[in-house]
Structures are given as structure tokens and as C-alpha cells.
Amino acid sequence: MNGTAQSKPAFTGRMFLGIMVAFFGVVVAVNITMARLASGTFGGTVVDNSYVASQKYNGWLAQARAQDQLGWATPVSLNGARRVVIAVPGAAFAATGTAHHPLGRAADVALTFVSDGEGQLVSTTPLPAGRWQVRLDVRSGRDVKRLLEVLA
């Protein structure tokens, strides 16, 4: 060494300001991005009025117990043509329903079903591509089984 020390650049107020602006710029950008993604994918409320829903809760439990006592096994699936298929335990069954896009990006699809003669009810309308929340009412006489399935 020849006696001269190399000097480091001084940490100035401008450098500190630049670091702080960059840091908070990243934080704000991430928050805006996350807020836009969250609000763009939220499908709405679960219940419109939680107080009214709480008053009906015991009735819903009683309906669920009655439905379980029917003993119907009714698996729901999509076939290759994207039609909803419900396996029913007999010939005297009918079903109706609605397919709802969970994010509300597509219109609801009303579903009607016909029997295929092999113990299955098949929707007359195929579902468009994507994930769908399907609400179904399967009936046999006066008995009704309500189903909520997610199909993709």
C-alpha cells in the first residue's frame, strides 16, 4: 500500500431517501395487487343476513337429518360430454338443479335431467369448461334430497 486509503462512498440523505421510496413503493405495489386480486375473485356473500340465517339453523339441521334418513346414495359426476350425471338408487327419481360459476364470471345454467335407463339421471345441458357449483334437488315422490357439489 502506498499510504492512500480508498474511500467508500458516503451514505447520504439521498441514498436513504431512495431506499425508503423503493421499499415503500414495493409494499404499496404488492398491497394494490393483492387487493385487486382479492376483490376480483370474491364471489359474494355466503348469507345475506347472518342473524336470519342463525334463526333458521336448527330447521336446516332437522332437514339434513331427515335427508340422511332417506338413505339414498346419489353420487354426482361429469361425463365426457360435460353433462352432470346423478346415480340414483331406483327408477322413480327425478332431478332439477342449477349450475353456478363460483366466481360469477359466467351465467347460471339451469339443469334438467332425463333417465338413461341404467340408474342414472343425465343433464340435458352440458356445462361449459371450468369449475361449477351445482345445486341439485333429487326427488322420489314427496321425498327430496338437496345436494351441493363442485364439479370441474
Kindly list the domain boundaries of the chain, sorted by start residue.
Answer: 13-42, 72-151
Say which CATH class 72-151 falls into: mainly beta
DSSP code for 7: P
Which pLDDT value is given to residue 15? 94
Weakly modelled stretches of the chain, pLDDT under 50: none
Per-residue pLDDT at 44: 67
* Residue 123 cell numbers, joined: 343433464
Q: Is 16 helix (H, G, I), strand (E, B) or coil?
A: helix
pLDDT at residue 2, as a whole number: 59
Type of residue numbered 111: L
pTM of the model: 0.61
Q: How many CA atoms lie within 13 A of 111 on its CB side?
A: 28
Residues, the chain, total?
Answer: 152
Distance set, CA 101 to CA 2, 50, 81 (Å): 76, 23, 18
